[in-house]
Structure 1
Amino acid sequence: MNQLSAMRAFRCIVEARGFSAAAERLDTTHSTISRQLQQLEVELGVQLINRNTRRFSLTGPGEQYYAACVDILERVEAASQAIAQGHQRAEGLLRVSVPLVVGTLDLPQWLPGFQKRYPDIELELCCDDQFIDLVAEGVDVAIRIAGPLSDTTLVARTLTVSKLMLVAAPGYIRSHGLPRTAEDLSKHRLLTFVGASSDWELSASRGASVRVTPSGRFKTNTIIALHAATLAEAGIACFTLATVRNDLATGRLVSILPNYSLGERHYYAIYPQSRYQAPKVRAFVDYLAEHYRS
């Protein structure tokens, strides 16, 4: 016997003042309701309802048990609703791993709005350009900037695709001139990463591609330092449009060789399949997707 189900049937019989009305409320049959009551009385060893008169009445034990049933069933319902609401609401600690550029340059653009929309989420941001083991590190979701992913055991959702572009500070251009062709880059200071093995491949809208090996007086291993060096008029560097959009809008940086294409980078939200079931993870991923779309 399912005791909770039998208790619900008993309560409904009492409140509906009869078996037929109770069966209708519970969308079941008269015989099922009657059988549940009989099983409950056998289990308790007492009679709960008087059936030997035309008037519906509870026995003394029946009155006591009815009051207990109401209390227990309402507590169970309240607990179920609280759990359901907790699972539906975006709340709790959310551990996120992001590249340094997202955790610094992009942060002022999305953090205030996210915190305002989801005040119950406690965000713990780990800024690191290295790929980490999300499960081993206990990270809920990671944001990564890369080319197309060929294979991963994790779920990867594309937040945006941003083109690569060359930029420089206006002061650098005033001092060194504006490159007009890809070949002109050989006369300029080109800023890049320490240990970077890939060249810049510039494709003109009409014509063959030109491969350029960045070389200059400054190299670094972080986008943040590369960005700072570019603003400091140290030379020409390559960024995603998403990274330098505000700099271009305010004139702190200018686009170099805009008619050439350097490819693109994907912004991914990466997470274990089980993590995305959590409302806090869905809220964060959906919010960043909305941010980068805008």
Structure 2
Amino acid sequence: MNKLASIRIFVTVAQCLSFAEAAKQLRVSSSVVTRGVAMLEKDLDVRLVNRTTRHVSLTPVGKQYLEYAIDLMKLLESMDECVADATQQPAGCLRISASASFASTDLPHLLTGYRSLQPRMNFELSVFETMSDIDPAGFDICFNAARRLKDSSLICKPIAQTCDVIVASPSYLERHAAPRTLADLASHDVLLASDAPSRYWEFRDRNGTQRVVVRPIMNLQSPLMVKRAACAGLGIARLPRSVVMDELSDGTLRMVLNDAELCESEWTVWLLYSSHRHMPIVLRAFIDFVAGFYEKRSFGHAQRSTGNPMQMHPDLVWSGV
């Protein structure tokens, strides 16, 4: 381990006042953190950190050293930014948060595509079920798939849209005749996601809106858990098409009542980030890439279909940034 790595570890420990938390943030083992601090102290021939089984604190020398160490870390970041600005090649690490449904569908393709263009970029990813689970200070950029976006102090840009479909597994449909009319839904086992519309579904036709009461046998927080339950044959589910596109393609799930038009079926993927007077090049470049990713996909869909791309194609489509 070189001295620079040891300094970086020391700064993280000093900021967290916890070896375990520093290891978690740095994504290394606790033994690596302990060894890094010990090597730095040995090199300097001075104790920087007081540690007991229950408490971590900085020595007076450690506090002074921390000030210079933080300045050094900032200088290194500036050096990287300088190179990136000069070459227009982003470098560094983006902290990304993403809803579980988006993290399991489009996000891996996004990151793979971006890193193939910018191999010097790394990512730190956290996944959440609801926005209340995360701290806005803990990410540089966030992807949140939602029916409606709650008030936010962040910049919020819609990047893609999808819509709900009603699905069931072949095994379930073998045990229960597939619903042919909206009234048939009342006799079926229904799986609900906690963020879905309430225990009735509304459909729209030429005669207006029709409300159908459904019989939920399970209410789950995560759309991914609802999908797994549906794949297992537990019941009929209403899910975003983007979440079940692979299962629809391979036959694990089948659409039912696909001629009926669901009300409030639209989902939007939002890109959220803090306002920056001078946005870092790594963030700006990534936002531009995401916009281009969905713009190209939407253009490809338009070439293949003259219908509504949200109905004709199971993946997310660009809504503009």
Same fold (TM over 0.5): yes
Name which one, 1 or 2, has greater alpha-carbon Rg: 1
Correspondence for 2:237: 237
Please give the residue correspondences for 1:71-82 in structure 2 after superposition, counting only pairs within 5 Å: 82=83
1:272 to 247, 259, 274: 274
Once the two structures are superposed, residues 50-96 of structure 1 have per-residue CA deviations (whole angstroms, 9 ceiling, x without a partner) of: xxxxxxxxxxxxxxxxxxxxxxxxxxxx999746326x332211111
Unaligned runs of 5+ in 2: 1-78, 298-321
- Name whichever of 201-210 and 262-271 sits farther off: 201-210
Question: What amino acid is aligned across from residue 231 of structure 1 in structure 2?
Answer: C
Residues 158 and 269, structure 2, Cα contact 8 Å, conserved in 1:
yes
2:181 alignment counterpart: 181
Q: How many residues align?
A: 216
- C-alpha displacement at 1:281, in angstroms? 2.3
Amino acid at match of 2:274: P
- State the Cα distance separating 1:207 from its structure 2 match: 2.5
| Residue identity in the other structure for 1:85 | A
Q: Secondary structure at the match of 2:228?
A: helix
**Is 1:276–1:282's contact at 8 Å kept on the other side of the alignment?**
no
Q: What is the match of residue 308 of structure 2?
A: none
2:91·2:121 contact (CA, 8 Å) conserved in 1?
yes
Q: Is the 8 A contact 1:192 1:214 kept in 2?
A: no
Render the CA deviation track for 1:196-250: whole Å, top value 9, x for unaligned: 6624433233223233344333322112211111111111111112212222222
SS of 2:164's equivalent in the other structure is: strand
1:61-76 mapped onto 2 (5 Å cutoff)? none
Q: 1:254 to 1:277 in 2, by over 3 A?
A: same
Deviates more, 1:208-217 or 1:98-107: 208-217
Q: Which residue of 2 aligns with 1:146?
A: 146
Q: CA–CA distance in 1 between the matches of 2:182 and 2:166? A: 11
Q: Indicate the SS of the match to 1:273.
A: coil
Q: Distance in 2 between matches of 1:115 and 1:79?
A: 17
Structure 2 contact 179–256 (Cα < 8 Å) conserved: yes
- Corresponding residue of 1:117: 117
Structure 1 segments unaligned to the other structure (5+ residues): 1-77
Cα pair distance change 1:199/1:133, threshold 3 Å: closer
Q: Identity, % of aligned pairs?
A: 26
Alignment of 1:130-145 (within 5 A): 130-132=130-132, 136-145=136-145
> Would you say the 8 A contact 2:156–2:271 is kept in 1?
yes
